[in-house]
Each structure stands twice: as structure tokens, then as C-alpha cells.
């Protein structure tokens, strides 16, 4: 006799609100024509992709026998189809550019809003009354988002203990996570297990050791770009969910400018050894093909790209690298790629007072 289990997936989109600003005071000394030309050169590569990358999706599937997930984390491989080198080849520069992106964007604020406002309702039913909850953080990074989620989990389940599996390939990020823990009180109810693995390595280890542990909550935040097969990654981790377990995925929206950029410049920009160009459109397609139900939320976000318009700005170049995910983009990208599509954005790049806005 078959057991029918309804799987619910929640998709949360962090939408960039399709505008980015460049303040004129930061580009003093350039002629208006030069600034407009530079804006045209950058907008298709940056503004378009920005609207996308800040569109995040969160996925919460409850346990079932059918699932979608596969994964390998960030540092998976990095040979690009073009001569351009992937930013993930240089771990130090990747982390520096990512930190700058967080400082210039409201991405973490959007996640904070989601964690405070929507996530508690999703966490209320996990665990099915168990005294200990098993949590897997896939690509947990420095742990700040993890701890915010644990705070909400604690409020919904105040008497439980938590066994937390941290799956993160970066030694530096694991170190940062441990430093954060040393400064954070009242975490005695959580046991941390450190897995310095990509998602693929973790999956291989899990299968080789025939491990049977089930998870009550799994989160995969902004990491499916760095796996070879996102659908297979989703299937694997979803297979680890216990009864009433839920899976959270945060990923760029398929409707965003970043998605449009990747569709147009996939050959030049997208790393073929990982799934750099994956969006929620791809994940949704896989879920829907399996009849998986999901909920979707959209959250606003923005990014200030002013420094990208300042010649010789180290921070501007770091930010540009992160937006394109190309190592030293400003020095290595061909002119036609950097200037690609100025006509497409002429009607969307507007000067408003002391700032530039790109509307998509």
C-alpha cells in the first residue's frame, strides 16, 4: 500500500526592485557623455545581472519519497567555456568581493526580513514533537544567517536540542563561523559538526558510509550555482528529510536581470564545470515535473554600484568581478562583452538628480 505525502516548497524571491544607483559625486571629473557611455557599457553587464542575482528563492519541501536535490559546493571546478577565468578559482578574492557585495547591497537585510517574518511559520511544524532536531546547513558560509535561523527555531521549539551539520568547503569561512560562535551566547543547545566538504563530497561520504540519519531542516542558501547538477543535489538532500522535514533554497530568480544576462551571455560568462547560471526557473521546472507543490515569496533588495563607475577603483573592480563572477573582469573581458548591449539599456538608464538608475 502506497503512502501519499504532500510536499510543500516555499520559494522566496529577493527582487532587486530593478534599480541601482550611481551617484554623480563619485564620478566627478568625467564628462556627462563619458559617464553616460560608461553607464551604457556597464548596464547590460551589471544592471541587468543585478536585478537577477538579488532575486533569491527559498525552497521548503516537506519530506516525501520523491525529491530533487544535488549539490557540490562552491569550490567545485572552474574551467570556463571562454578564456575568462571564474572568480571561484581565487578563494581570497572571491571572499573579498562577496563581502563588498554584502556591504553595498541589502541582500542580508532581505534575508533578515524573511527569517523574521516568514520563516517562523515554516519552522513551526518541523520535528513532529522530537526532543532533538537535526539541521543541515549546505554552504553555510560564515554562519551569520544560520544563527538567525536558529534563533527563530528556538522560539518555535524552546525545549529541543539541535544537532547541526555544517557543510562548507572554505576553511576561511569555517574559521569565521567558529569565531562568530565564540562571541555568541546561549548556544549550548546546539551541537556543531564541521564538514569541510563541497556538497558533492559530502554526498559521496554519506553514501560510502551508508549513513541513515534524517534531517528536520536543511537550508541551501545561494550555493546551487557551485554544483555540477543542481537537480541531483536537490534530490539527494531532499532524500535526507525526516517526517515533516523542510528544505530551504535561496537562489537567484529566473525572472531577474541576472537570469537574462546568463541566457544571453552563457557561453562567455558561465562556468561549464559548475551550474553558475542556474536560476529558480530551472529548479521550479524540476519540481513541477515531479508534481511538487511550492509557495513563492518576493522580497525587495537593492545594490549601489557607484564604485564600478570610478576608473581604477579597487572596490569597483572587486564588485564588478562578483557581479560577473569573472576574475579580473575589467582587465580580461573583451571590449565587446564589456560594452555589450548599450542600445538595450538606453531607454532604461535614467539620470535622476544626483544618481543613475537602471530600470529593467
Whether the model pTM is above 0.75: no
Per-residue pLDDT of the chain (360 residues), as tens digits, is 222 333 445 656 555 443 444 444 444 444 444 334 434 344 433 433 333 333 344 445 444 333 233 333 333 333 434 568 888 788 899 889 989 988 988 877 888 899 999 999 999 999 888 999 999 999 999 999 999 999 999 999 999 999 999 999 999 999 999 999 999 999 999 999 999 999 999 999 999 999 999 999 999 998 998 898 999 999 899 999 998 899 999 887 777 656 666 666 666 666 656 556 788 888 888 888 888 777 777 766 777 878 877 888 999 889 888 877 788 888 887 776 666 533 232 223 333 333 333 322
Q: How far is CA 280 from CA 75, 238, 327, 351, in A?
A: 21, 16, 25, 32
C-alpha cell at 218: 536543511
* Buried/exposed code over 157-189 (b: 16+ C-beta within 10 A; e: otherwise): beebebbbbbbbbbeebbebbeeeeeeeeebeb
| Cell of residue 4, nine digits | 501519499
CA 22 → CA 68, 212, 213, 282, 317, distances in Å? Answer: 40, 52, 50, 32, 15
Q: What topology does CATH give the domain 8-358?
A: Rossmann fold (3.40.50)
User: 341: alpha, beta or left, given left = phi > 0 and alpha = psi -120 to 50?
Assistant: left
Q: What are phi and psi of 273, to 5 degrees?
A: -85, -15
Q: Where are the alpha helices (DSSP H) in the chain?
A: 32-42, 48-53, 91-104, 107-117, 119-123, 144-156, 171-182, 199-208, 230-239, 257-269, 280-289, 314-324, 329-332, 335-338, 342-345
Amino acid at each position: 500500500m502506497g503512502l501519499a505525502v504532500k510536499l510543500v516548497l516555499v520559494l522566496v524571491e529577493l527582487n532587486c526592485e530593478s534599480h541601482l544607483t550611481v551617484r554623480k559625486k563619485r564620478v566627478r571629473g568625467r564628462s556627462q557623455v563619458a559617464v553616460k557611455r560608461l553607464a551604457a557599457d556597464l548596464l547590460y553587464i551589471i544592471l541587468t545581472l543585478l536585478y537577477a542575482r538579488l532575486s533569491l528563492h527559498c525552497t521548503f519541501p516537506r519530506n516525501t519519497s520523491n525529491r530533487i536535490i544535488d549539490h557540490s559546493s562552491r569550490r567545485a571546478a572552474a574551467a570556463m567555456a571562454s578564456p575568462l577565468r571564474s572568480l571561484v578559482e581565487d578563494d581570497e578574492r572571491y571572499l573579498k568581493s562577496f563581502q563588498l557585495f554584502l556591504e553595498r547591497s541589502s541582500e542580508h537585510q532581505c534575508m533578515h526580513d524573511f527569517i523574521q517574518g516568514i520563516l517562523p511559520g515554516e519552522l513551526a511544524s518541523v520535528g513532529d514533537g522530537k526532543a532533538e532536531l537535526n539541521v543541515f546547513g549546505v554552504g553555510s558560509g560564515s554562519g551569520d544567517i544560520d544563527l538567525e535561523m536558529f534563533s527563530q527555531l528556538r522560539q518555535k521549539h524552546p525545549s529541543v536540542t539541535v544537532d547541526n551539520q555544517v557543510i562548507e568547503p572554505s576553511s576561511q569561512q569555517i574559521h569565521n563561523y567558529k569565531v562568530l560562535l565564540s562571541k555568541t551566547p546561549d548556544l549550548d543547545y546546539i551541537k556543531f559538526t564541521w564538514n569541510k566538504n563541497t556538497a558533492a563530497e559530502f554526498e559521496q561520504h554519506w553514501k560510502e558510509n551508508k549513513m541513515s540519519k534524517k534531517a528536520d531542516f536543511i537550508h541551501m542558501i545561494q550555493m546551487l550555482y557551485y554544483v555540477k547538477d543542481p537537480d541531483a543535489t536537490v534530490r539527494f538532500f531532499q532524500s535526507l528529510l525526516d517526517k515533516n522535514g523542510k528544505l530551504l533554497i535561496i537562489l537567484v530568480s529566473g525572472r531577474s536581470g541576472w537570469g537574462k544576462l546568463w541566457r544571453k551571455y552563457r557561453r562567455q560568462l558561465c562556468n561549464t564545470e559548475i551550474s553558475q547560471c542556474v536560476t529558480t526557473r530551472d529548479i521550479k521546472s524540476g519540481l513541477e515535473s515531479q508534481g511538487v507543490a511550492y509557495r513563492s515569496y518576493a522580497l525587495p533588495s537593492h545594490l549601489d554600484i557607484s564604485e564600478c563607475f570610478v576608473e581604477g577603483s579597487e572596490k569597483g573592480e572587486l564588485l564588478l568581478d562578483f557581479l560577473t563572477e569573472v576574475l579580473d573582469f575589467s582587465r580580461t573581458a573583451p571590449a565587446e562583452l564589456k560594452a555589450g548591449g548599450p542600445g538595450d539599456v538606453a531607454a532604461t538608464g535614467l539620470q535622476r538628480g544626483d544618481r543613475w538608475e537602471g530600470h529593467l
